[in-house]
Amino acid sequence: MNPEQPSLFNDLRVVTVLPTSDGAFKQALTYFTTSNIAVGDVVSIPARTKTIVGIVTSVEQATERREELRQEAFALKKIKRRLGASPVTATYIMAANNCANYFATTTGQLLSVLIPKFVFDTKTLIDKTRAENAKPAMRTSLKPDQRVIQAPEDERMSVYKSLIRESFARKKSIFFCTPNIETAEELRPRLARGVEEYLYVFHSEIPKKQLVKAWVEAEEKVHPIVVIGTGMYLSLPRNDFDTIVLEREGENWKQIQRPYVDIKLFAEELTRLSGAMLVYGDSVLSLETMRRYQEHVVQELSPVRQRILSPESESLVDMRKYDATRKRGGRETFPVISGELHAIIGRLKTDSERLILLANRKGLSPTSICGDCGTTLSCENCHVALVLHKDEGRGTMYVCHMCQSTSEAKRRCNYCGSWKLYEFGTGIERVEEIVRSHYPEHTVFVLSGDTATTRKRALDIRAEFMKTPGSILLGTEMLCTYLHEPVENTAVVSVDNIFSIPDFKNNERLFHLLATLKRLGTKQFLIQTRHAKEPVFTHALRGTILDFYREELALRKGLQYPPFSLLIKITREGTRATVGKDMLLLEELLGNWGVVTMEAFTPLVRGRYRMNGIIRLMPKNWPNETLLSLLRSLPPSYMVNVGPENLL
């Protein structure tokens, strides 16, 4: 493009495009065009040696940038072609742009995970005028309308149905956003009655053809609609959503891969810009949300329940009373199942009752220690403890849960070569082995990542258990995702491994886990632990949600952990020498921001060494333009995570 040719120059437009393809560039790219292109349009653009897809974020007449273009050291390239109209609303792009600063990423990278990929397939774009998408929705108030509902599921569903009726009466649509697929599918039948023809469900397990069909219908529907979907489907281009509900708000909404977006925070920004009401709903809300409720930042949608409903009986068993009861092979061993739990299992058949057992570790034994030198048996690639598993062909074997490598169970200590290896800890396979040997007449189902590798398999296991009286369902933490119907008895075999992990959210996660199991049990709830004096167990048994919040918030405030601070984690992995050198450079670059570097909790993963750099800020001081610029200047080998779920 030559700015010295006036007649041609007057017809040109300078267009800023955000790449949305995988491996998107860190910054927006600038092109020129003579075509009629609007903000939000999807275009194909040349980038180095390939053609990628992007979204237009600004369009200017070239005459307005004549002097600037004359001084450019490179020639602008031409947009190849317009693929379709804006796939999202302008408000959505604005929210992504604002959140990109918060998460120290680019708008393009954020949109690449906040818009379903099929939307960028030319065949699925509706090439029509979407004038309503080009204009941001107008806010109706300066203060965000944020509400909470903390109540049992049946009560929440009743409130949600009222919200649907009220939205339809205002000729507005409503979106129920869920943290996972199972929650979305659980909501479908509970909210569909009476609104079947206006209800749409979106998540990644629905076939693409069905998704596209539903997407087109939902966009074109004149009548208000109800949408249930995971986070990226908030991008459905309708400007009439005046209510967004975050169902199961207390669960994790943070993505585990770059750009590490928190869907909950994005929904907050989206509703702030659009003026829609945002509802946080769960049986036990997150610590941060309840803090904001107590400070009157968010309001009640319905009276907040302060206690968890209790079954007929509940008990805490201190497993330390079973210490040193017998010996095997010259060393002490401890019972896995208490007398109290044996009593519950023993009457299942007689009373035609069911029992859910939680064992929070995989395998037979999560740790093996050398009896001569005391060294923990670990993976040579990852330096994490090897877990002893059952194996049909070899009897038992060791597995690394990081790199999935396996080794024979009959092996020597890595350090001293001794054969004297002892297993410690209780995994789900050990519990299964004991239950089956003691109660061969009971039907035992196992729900874990090893037995349910797909959602369909997990649902099949759940269905078989629910229709089998006198049966036992043994599972890991994934139980809580798939179980919603109450059963007579629930019990925790062991969750003590949580206390060995240095994570500031441990107590909150454990309380949510225990609260879920307690709500599922109608007759008996039992906890086995060797940490009986931990307050989290007392609060869970008593069902005192408010007391737990107060105590945990006081603890975090004293230690200046979130929500009283904002943490930024910068991770670097590679060879030990390279990582060490790069983290020294990081300390030099961010020294004024108090960065602290350290080995990761698991310093070696698949043969790659890992270190973390941690920055602690006051929440009101972020985003900071100076720090944001420094973080964005880091090479891609540094992984920046704003507001991480842990510091491990």
Burial class, 260, CB count within 10 angstroms (exposed 0-12 / middle 13-18 / buried 19+): buried
Average of per-residue pLDDT values in the chain = 88
Q: DSSP secondary structure string, 212-235?
A: HHHHHHHHH-SS--EEEEEGGGGG
Could you give the CA distance from residue 537 to residue 531 in angstroms, rounded to a whole number?
A: 9
Band the pLDDT of 22: cuts 50, 70, 90.
Answer: low
The closest alpha carbon to 51, from 19, 26, 16, belongs to: 19
630-639 pLDDT, tens digit per residue, is 999 999 999 9
Band the pLDDT of 26: cuts 50, 70, 90.
Answer: low
Q: Domain 137-300 falls in which CATH fold? A: Rossmann fold (3.40.50)
454-471 pLDDT, tens digit per residue, is 999 999 999 999 999 999
Q: Which CATH architecture has domain 313-366+425-556?
A: 3-Layer(aba) Sandwich (3.40)
C-beta contacts of 576-583 below 8 A and 24+ residues apart: 576/609, 579/609, 579/610, 579/611, 580/611, 582/637, 582/638, 583/611, 583/613
Stretch 83-90: mean pLDDT: 83
Helix axis angle, 153-169 to 181-191, nearest 10°: 70
Domain 313-366+425-556 and domain 566-642, same fold? Reply is no
Q: Which of 10-24, 371-385, 505-519 has the weakest average pLDDT?
A: 10-24
Question: Rounded to an integer, what is the distance from CA 586 to the centroid of its chain?
Answer: 28
Spell out the domain ranges in the chain.
Answer: 6-87+115-124, 137-300, 313-366+425-556, 566-642
Q: Do residues 148 and 293 lie in contact, with contact meaning Cβ atoms separated by under 8 Å?
A: yes
Class of domain 566-642: alpha beta
414-428 pLDDT, tens digit per residue, is 889 888 888 888 889
42-51 pLDDT, tens digit per residue, is 888 998 888 8
Q: Do residues 42 and 83 lie in contact, with contact meaning Cβ atoms separated by under 8 Å?
A: yes
Band the pLDDT of 134: cuts 50, 70, 90.
Answer: very low
Is 325's pLDDT higher than 70?
no
Band the pLDDT of 542: cuts 50, 70, 90.
Answer: very high
pLDDT top residue among 148 and 484: 148
**Phi and psi at residue 326, to the nearest 5°:** -160, 170
Stretch 506-516: mean pLDDT: 95
Both tokens assigned to 293: 């409720």
pTM for this predicted structure: 0.89
103-112 pLDDT, tens digit per residue, is 999 887 888 8
Could you give the CA distance from residue 135 to residue 141 in angstroms, rounded to a whole number?
A: 18
Give the model's pLDDT for residue 552: 96
